[in-house]
Amino acid sequence: MTTNAGSRPDIQSNRLAEEDYSKNFGDIHPPLNTHEALVEADRCYFCYDAPCMVACPTSIDIPMFIRQISADNPKGSAKTIFEENILGGMCARVCPTETLCEQACVREEAEGKPVKIGLLQRYATDHLLEAGDKVFERAALTGKRIAVVGAGPAGLSCAHRLAMHGHDVVIYDAHEKAGGLNEYGIAAYKSVNDFAQREVDFLLSIGGITIQNGSRLGEEISLADLRQNFDAVFLGMGLAGVNSLRAEGEDLEGVVDAVSYISDLRQSADLSKLSVGRKVAVIGGGMTAVDAAVQSKLLGADEVTILYRRGQEQMNASEYEQELAQTKGVSIRHWVKPNKLIGEDGKVVAIECEHTETKDGSLVGTGETFTLEADMVFKAIGQNFVAAPLNGSAEAIELESGRIRVDEDRRTSLGDVWAGGDCIAGGEDLTVAAVEDGKVAAEAINQVLSA
């Protein structure tokens, strides 16, 4: 792995045979068929005050939806799921179930084999989406209007719940398509067949929700205007900024922001046209790092290495995700940080790395360095909230640790503005947590508007 820097950079597309693209980017967890679902559902003990339900950020009644699958009522099962989590279909695909419901499952404690809650949830929700039945009706119209900024999981969840309560909602989103990270940020093999858009269509079928694409806060729209024109505002615009490496050579060609690469990959109609390096390094330890690393490998990179400055336990990527990366042939190197990106003719060719350790509670380099060849380097060291678009137009919204401060009801320091998802402080940066934020905020908004 440690070689002389200087072999020619080799970033190119079309590394694989055509059929390998569809094979590599097919559904990572093929859905359960009916018999498999029934067998798996029978494993559920229908626990009292079920630990899985407590572990679910959206408090889905998991034992009940599984019992409904057992009882041959997958549609009712899906309704049970959607009542608490309107994006239950995507969450079934992307939730780190191994650290949430399935970790809490008593069968995990009993035999190390939890009920496959995620796959069962997918079975039920797929069933309903395929059947196309309408399960939610709107309450009598209230005439109230709410603006939602961001058509990601938080905004969509909030909008749907508000529409259910009879309010009208306009969602403003900067992108061309709705869905937020569900559409632009999740590894392709977790959401195949354009699922994010199908789920958005299902969600919007309730009526009363309009989406204005290409509307960016601070440009086409302003918070002051929204507050003036609507009865309430919900902010769910996520994180616009990408953390920088703060290492020499960050601007070399071949050094790429992982988030935009994943987004390009998701939007690509022909994966063979997407370029990837021969030797790829990914800097970071979260889900984005794993998604970028695994997908680089699947696109045909020879060597993919994740460099993470701390140990395995500190990685934000779940143990399951780490294993997934390793089984796909990605090497993960812990306790390593990049000191300098080495370039040739303006292109990255290698990274000078340094081993790290914790000393007196802080992370320091050991002084021991090595060089890792890399013709493509992904930055996946986190994103940050860009507050500027919020301000300037009206009184400032209070922040906390760089993100929006909210109370239990997800209400911000401005009485008519609520917020949720990745843009709020203290969140978990999970799809399912964003859905819960949107739901909680919608209930609070409804309460205030109905008072």
Partner 1 sequence: MADISCNFLGIKSPNPYWLASAPPTDKEYNVVRAFEAGWGGVVWKTLGEGDPVVNVNGPRYGAIHGPDRRLLGLNNIELITDRSLEINLEEITRVKKNWPDRALIVSLMVPCEEQSWIDILKRVEETGCDGVELNFGCPHGMSERGMGAAVGQVPEYVEMVTRWCKTHSDLPVIVKLTPNISDVRQSARAAHRGGADAVSLINTINSIVSVDLDAMAPNPTVDGKGTHGGYCGPAVKPIALSMVSEIARDSETQGLPISGIGGVTTWRDAAEFMVLGSGSVQVCTAAMTYGFKIIEELNAGLSNWMDEKGYKTLDDFVGQAVPNVTDWQYLNLNYIAKAKIDQDACIKCGRCHIACEDTSHQAITATVDGARMFEVIDEECVGCNLCVSVCPIENCITMEQMTEGTDPRTDKPIDPSYANWTTHPNNPSAVKAAE
In the complex, the residues that contact partner 1 under the rule CB under 8 A are 35, 38-39, 42-43, 45-51, 106-107, 109-110
The answer to whether the CB of 297 falls within 8 A of the CB of 282 is: no
The DSSP bridge pattern shows strands 168-173 and 209-213 to be parallel
Q: Smallest distance, Å, CB 49 to partner 1?
A: 6
Nearest-approach distance from CB 125 to partner 1, in angstroms: 23
Output 111 or 313, the one with its CB closest to partner 1.
111
To the nearest whole angstrom, how small is the minimum distance from the Cβ of residue 341 to partner 1? 50
Q: Rounded to the nearest 5°, which phi and psi values hold at 304?
A: -125, 130
Interatomic CA distance for residues 269 and 246, integer angstroms: 34
Decide if 71 contacts 406 (C-beta within 8 A): no
Q: What's the CA gap between 81 and 126, in Å, rounded? A: 12
Residue 115 or 162: the one with the smaller Cβ distance to partner 1 is 115
Residue 49 vs 408, nearer CB to partner 1:
49
Task: Give whichever of 104 and 374 is closer to partner 1, judged by the CB atom.
Answer: 104
| Least Cβ distance, residue 63 to partner 1 (angstroms) | 10
- Nearer to partner 1 (CB atom), residue 19 or residue 49: 49
What's the closest the beta carbon of residue 428 comes to partner 1, in angstroms? 22
- CA 48 vs. chain centroid, Å, equals 31
Q: Which residue number, 61 or 302, has a Cβ lying nearer to partner 1? A: 61
Smallest separation (angstroms) from partner 1 to the CB of 73 = 13
Closest contact distance (angstroms) between CB of 426 and partner 1 is 24
Q: Measured from the CB atom, is 100 or 289 closer to partner 1?
A: 100
Q: Which residue, 28 or 106, is less far from partner 1 as judged by CB?
A: 106
Q: Which is nearer to partner 1, 108 or 257 (CB)?
A: 108
- Report, in Å, the least distance between residue 55 CB and partner 1: 12
Q: How far apart are CA 358 and CA 203, in angstroms?
A: 47
Q: Least distance from C-beta 115 to partner 1, angstroms?
A: 11
Contact predicate 421/427, CB 8 Å: yes
